[in-house]
Copies of this chain bind each other. A is one copy, B any other.
């Protein structure tokens, strides 16, 4: 078996791990370096070694339950990153197989024809058809039939329409896959993510080990420039997630061939980071690299003792807190640090505050300060952080 060369390479060691350790069910995620075997366009920031986040659900479960959860997770991740609108395209390996059979593609041509379909997101249909007919020797009539089917995209109504299609009705693979799709789309609706999901008959991907549902998460406004020259096109920038069901992979590594059904998605975190950085640069802001919520600031000299006590108090209350590692830092330097690093709150102490049993709580964004009683500091900070968070997310 040839393994998909560009994505979800991480599924292979995962499947080997399950087989070797006789793990029959697990849900896990993993952020790690992965490797691709093809020759990436290094000039465009693609390398053989890169970071990827994978999650997978392995186990013998009822149809479409873990498959729908994968979509929910991708939607949650892309939503929370706040990088614009996206769509999660779905299709089904067995629907593609059924479609090829219905179009009269000979069995031994399924794979090469599938890899031509895979290019439809970057290339015009005319070029794909030329590849099918001229390079891969497909009957032009069969290619035209494929050209009709791959235009179908939409929601439940499209699946219902295809279930009535005479050609597909004769293909057991296609009918069963369409029933799966119906269930998947219904579950997505119950999960509240139906508006993010698009059933798309042209989605093919590198199909070598997929056996069921396949996914691709695409950012809108980052789509491939069709027909653009090699140097102009934004290669794969739109695609930020991809995966599918691979029920046969674990069995390949198990000495007894015991199968463990799996479904999973890979998130292209390097690509997402680069999009987030570009976006931040454009808005003249910075991508935060820490999660610090509070900076403890001393407004005068010789207050290091008090600062350390305050830090310990806030850390013990699970408030993400920082302070300067200088004994007597300048107030301005500390405030600048907050602003540069996007730290939302500063607790400011001076000698008079200490004597009065208070601190000043400063909202870094507005530079507003107000007095808070020392014993109420933790609860006040938690309240303000909650308000700031709900303000940002709404």
A residues neighboring B (CB under 8 Å):
57, 59, 61-62, 65-66, 68, 72, 76, 187, 190-193, 304-305, 308-309, 311-312, 315-316, 325-327
Please report the C-alpha to C-alpha distance between residue A308 and residue B192 in the assembled complex, in whole angstroms.
Answer: 9
Please report the C-alpha to C-alpha distance between residue A311 and residue B187 in the assembled complex, in whole angstroms.
Answer: 11
Residue pair B190, A312 in contact (C-beta under 8 Å) = yes
Residue pair B309, A62 in contact (C-beta under 8 Å) = no
A288 CB, min distance to chain B CBs, angstroms: 14
Residue pair A59, B190 in contact (C-beta under 8 Å) = no
Please report the C-alpha to C-alpha distance between residue A100 and residue B76 in the assembled complex, in whole angstroms.
Answer: 60
Please report the C-alpha to C-alpha distance between residue A309 and residue B191 in the assembled complex, in whole angstroms.
Answer: 6
Residue pair B305, A190 in contact (C-beta under 8 Å) = yes
Residue pair B191, A327 in contact (C-beta under 8 Å) = no
Residue pair B309, A190 in contact (C-beta under 8 Å) = yes
Q: Which residues of B contact A304 (CB under 8 A)?
A: 65
Please report the C-alpha to C-alpha distance between residue A304 and residue B183 in the assembled complex, in whole angstroms.
Answer: 12
Residue pair B192, A316 in contact (C-beta under 8 Å) = yes
Q: Which residues of B contact A191 (CB under 8 A)?
A: 308-309, 311-312
Residue pair B62, A325 in contact (C-beta under 8 Å) = yes
Residue pair B59, A325 in contact (C-beta under 8 Å) = yes
Interchain Cβ contacts under 8 Å between A and B, 19 examples: A57-B325, A61-B326, A62-B326, A65-B325, A65-B326, A65-B327, A68-B308, A72-B315, A76-B315, A187-B308, A190-B305, A190-B308, A191-B308, A191-B309, A191-B311, A191-B312, A192-B309, A192-B312, A192-B316
Most buried by B among A65, A66, A304: A65
In the A-B complex, the 5 residue pairs with the smallest Cβ-Cβ separation, listed nearest first, are A61-B325, A190-B308, A65-B325, A62-B327, A191-B312
Q: Which residues of B contact A187 (CB under 8 A)?
A: 308
Please report the C-alpha to C-alpha distance between residue A326 and residue B316 in the assembled complex, in whole angstroms.
Answer: 41
Q: Which residues of B contact A193 (CB under 8 A)?
A: 312
Please report the C-alpha to C-alpha distance between residue A315 and residue B76 in the assembled complex, in whole angstroms.
Answer: 9
A180 CB, min distance to chain B CBs, angstroms: 14
Residue of B nearest to A187 (CB): B308
Q: Which residues of B contact A325 (CB under 8 A)?
A: 57, 59, 61-62, 65-66
Please report the C-alpha to C-alpha distance between residue A353 and residue B98 in the assembled complex, in whole angstroms.
Answer: 43
Please report the C-alpha to C-alpha distance between residue A126 and residue B391 in the assembled complex, in whole angstroms.
Answer: 67
A239 CB, min distance to chain B CBs, angstroms: 25
7 additional A-B residue pairs with CB within 8 Å, beyond A62-B327, A190-B309, A191-B309: A61-B326, A62-B325, A66-B325, A68-B308, A187-B308, A190-B308, A191-B311
Residue pair B72, A312 in contact (C-beta under 8 Å) = yes
Most buried by B among A62, A76, A308, A311: A308
Most buried by B among A59, A65, A315, A325: A325
Most buried by B among A190, A193, A311: A190
Q: Which residues of B contact A72 (CB under 8 A)?
A: 312, 315
